[in-house]
C-alpha cells in the first residue's frame, strides 16, 4: 500500500489498535471516517469531534493535503455541525447540500432504506466488487463503471433521487480519494476493499501515500471521468450495433 510513514503525530501506533464499535458509538456513511474512529485516531465513540482534530487526522493519517481536508471539513461542519462539534452519525443527514449522497458504492439511498443510509449494505457492496474484471483488483476503469451503474440505478429506482452538478462533482471526487487511499498505481485489491468497507479497518501493512493535494485530486478525478466517458461512448456504439 502507500509509500510514506506516519508522522510523529501518531508515532506510537500501539495506541491505535482496531476495536469493534459498541452499540452506542456514533458512525457515519463514510468507511474512512469509521475506520479512523475504530482505530482511535478519531474519538472511538465517534462523538463531539472538533474540526481541528478531524483536520489533523485527515492530513496526518490519510495523507490529504491541508486544503483538500479543509474543503471536506468545511462542508461537513457547515451542514451538520453543532456548536463547533459533530458526531459521525450526523453525517447521515440527507439533503442536496449534505455530505451524504444517493448512489453510494456501499450504502442504499435514503429513500430506499427508511433513512438508514448510514448503514453498510453487503449486497450493494458485492455489486460494487462485481465490477472487478479479474476478481482480484478494482481498477480506475472498474470504479468508474461502478459509479456510472449506481447513478443510473438510483435514477431508475429511487423516485426521490437527489442529483445536481455539485453532487456529481462530489461523486467523482470521493471515488478519486478512495482510489488514492486504498489503491496502488490505480488499483485496489479486493481483499483490501473488503477490510476497509466491511470491517472498517486498515488493510494489513497499510501506510498512507504522500500528500494528496488539489493537483493530484484533479488528475485522479479527470482519469475517472475519462474512463467513464469512454465506457459511455462504447455503450452507445454497442447499442447502435445491437
The reply to whether 4 falls in a domain is no
Q: Which of 90, 199, 98, 118 is nearest to 191 (CA)?
A: 199
The answer to whether the predicted template modeling score (pTM) of the entire model surpasses 0.95 is: no
Q: Spell out the alpha helix ranges (H) of the chain.
A: 31-38, 51-60, 66-80, 122-129, 140-157, 165-182, 190-194, 214-241
Q: What is the pLDDT of residue 6?
A: 41
How far apart are the C-alpha atoms of 57 and 44, rounded to whole Å?
13
Q: Which of 189, 225, 103, 88 is nearest to 153 (CA)?
A: 103
Q: How far is CA 30 from the centre of its chain?
A: 6
**Region at 119 (left for phi over 0; alpha for psi -120 to 50; beta for the rest):** beta
pLDDT confidence band for 5 (50 / 70 / 90) = very low
Q: What is the pLDDT of residue 117?
A: 93
Give backbone dihedrals phi and psi of 224, rounded to 5 degrees, phi first.
-65, -45
- Model confidence at 7: pLDDT above 60: no
Domain count, the chain: 1
**Mean local confidence (pLDDT), 83-100:** 94
- Cβ atoms 143, 224 nearer than 8 A: yes
- Model confidence at 159: pLDDT above 70: yes
pLDDT confidence band for 31 (50 / 70 / 90) = very high
The reply to whether 225 falls in a domain is yes
The reply to whether 5 falls in a domain is no
The reply to whether 62 falls in a domain is yes
Question: Which domain does 26 fall in, by range?
Answer: 19-241
Q: Tell which wins on pLDDT, 240 or 81.
A: 81
Q: What is the pLDDT of residue 60?
A: 92
pLDDT confidence band for 2 (50 / 70 / 90) = very low
The reply to whether 37 falls in a domain is yes
How far apart are the C-alpha atoms of 131 and 133, rounded to whole Å?
6
* Longest CA span, the chain: 60
- Model confidence at 8: pLDDT above 90: no
- Model confidence at 190: pLDDT above 70: yes
**Mean local confidence (pLDDT), 101-125:** 95
- What CATH number should be reported for the domain holding residue 213? 1.10.489.10
**Mean local confidence (pLDDT), 63-75:** 91
The reply to whether 8 falls in a domain is no
Give backbone dihedrals phi and psi of 166, rounded to 5 degrees, phi first.
-65, -40
Lowest-confidence region among 45-54, 105-114, 223-232: 223-232
The reply to whether 13 falls in a domain is no
The reply to whether 11 falls in a domain is no
Amino acid at each position: 500500500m502507500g509509500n510514506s510513514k506516519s508522522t510523529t503525530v501518531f508515532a506510537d501506533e500501539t495506541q491505535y489498535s482496531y476495536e469493534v464499535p459498541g452499540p452506542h458509538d456514533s458512525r457515519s456513511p463514510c468507511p474512512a471516517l469509521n475506520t479512523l474512529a475504530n482505530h482511535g485516531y478519531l474519538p472511538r465513540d465517534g462523538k463531539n469531534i472538533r474540526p481541528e482534530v478531524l483536520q489533523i487526522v485527515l492530513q496526518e493519517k490519510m495523507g490529504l493535503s491541508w486544503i483538500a481536508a479543509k474543503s471536506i471539513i468545511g462542508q461537513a461542519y457547515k451542514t451538520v455541525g453543532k456548536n463547533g462539534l459533530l458526531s459521525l452519525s450526523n453525517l447521515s443527514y440527507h439533503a442536496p447540500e449534505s455530505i451524504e449522497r444517493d448512489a453510494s458504492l456501499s450504502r442504499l439511498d435514503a429513500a430506499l432504506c427508511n433513512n438508514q443510509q448510514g448503514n453498510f449494505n453487503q449486497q450493494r457492496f458485492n455489486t460494487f466488487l462485481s465490477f472487478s474484471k479479474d476478481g482480484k483488483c478494482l481498477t480506475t476503469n472498474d470504479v468508474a463503471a461502478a459509479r456510472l451503474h449506481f447513478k443510473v440505478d438510483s435514477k431508475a429506482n429511487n423516485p426521490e433521487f437527489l442529483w445536481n452538478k455539485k453532487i456529481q462533482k462530489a461523486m467523482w471526487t470521493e471515488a478519486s480519494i478512495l482510489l488514492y487511499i486504498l489503491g496502488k498505481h490505480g488499483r485496489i485489491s479486493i481483499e483490501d476493499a473488503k477490510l476497509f468497507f466491511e470491517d472498517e479497518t486498515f488493510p494489513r501493512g497499510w501506510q498512507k501515500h504522500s500528500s494528496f493535494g488539489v493537483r493530484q485530486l484533479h488528475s485522479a478525478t479527470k482519469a475517472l471521468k475519462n474512463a467513464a466517458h469512454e465506457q459511455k461512448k462504447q455503450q452507445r456504439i454497442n447499442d447502435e450495433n445491437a
